[in-house]
Amino acid sequence: MRTVLFAAFAVILLNELPADVKAASEGVELDHQEWTFDGPFGGFDRQQLQRGFQVYREVCSSCHGLDYIAFRNLEAIGYSEDQTKVLASEYLIEDCCDDQGDIFDRPAIPADGIPNPYPNEQFARASNNGSLPPDLSLITKARANGPDYIYNLILAYEDPPADMEEEIMFGMYYNTVFDGNQIAMAQQLFDELIEYSDGTVATNEQMAKDVTAFLHWAAEPKLEVRKQTGVRVLLFTLVFTVLAYFLKRRIWAGLKH
């Protein structure tokens, strides 16, 4: 039983190691951020998630989809049912079919997924010099060191060193975090690029952190439930272990050793 408890705690601690520790084996030096969802008791800041969604909507959504998130899922980050309906209605969804059998556009409803900016992969590549902008639904889970990697990547644009200027291919940009240092996405965030609805100052770092937190929620919307369940299981296991120990002592108390 003690082995089970130790293994469970070891898994939690391993998952919560700072990114700069885990990144050491991968040769990528990242600046670890203090995230509200770090640690076994961490959770999401709903206000931050709404700011992150605003960054995604006003900046990222022109190139990147969020295929696994429906408008109704946004209620989990603090939007009311009415707000979700209004948000959805601002998008058009291609539907089939009318009385004549034709495809038509209609306002989205909360049950619809957030529309992808491109109708298909070929169109997406043709619009981006052959590069395919990745869907962002699972991006923080699909990259090593997750949120810290995305945050650092967003802020890692620089002018290329003199000895690399000729190596930068057409349509590529120098990024100190991206593998190979050449990335097809240009720098997207600049100070005060957007105006936050809650009055927060939209610095590069603030927007990068907010949108990263939102994308981590999109990748793992049940994170808080999972952690709460894990803590309950560990507490139950601990109590059960103590009870089992005393029960064992009572059962074998009359036996001479």
Give, for all 257 residues of the chain, the pLDDT tens digit: 444 333 443 434 334 444 343 443 355 689 999 999 999 899 999 999 999 999 999 999 999 999 999 999 999 999 999 999 999 999 999 888 878 888 889 999 999 999 999 999 999 999 999 999 999 999 999 988 899 999 999 999 999 999 888 899 999 999 999 999 999 999 999 999 999 999 999 999 999 999 999 999 999 999 999 999 998 999 999 999 999 999 988 888 877 76
Report the amino acid identity of residue 213.
A
The Cα 152–Cα 208 span in angstroms is 8
Tell me whether residue 244 is exposed, middle or buried, using C-beta atoms within 10 angstroms of its C-beta: 0 to 12, 13 to 18, 19 or more.
exposed
What would the two tokens of residue 224 be? 């808080």
Identify the structural domains of the chain with CATH numbers, from first to last.
2-45+56-67+134-251 (1.10.760.10)
Q: From the CB of residue 214, how many other CB atoms can be counted at a distance below 10 Å?
A: 27
Who's near 228: CB < 8 A, 6+ residues apart?
A: none
The Cα 59–Cα 213 span in angstroms is 15
What would the two tokens of residue 58 be? 């006003």
What's the predicted TM-score (pTM) here? Answer: 0.83
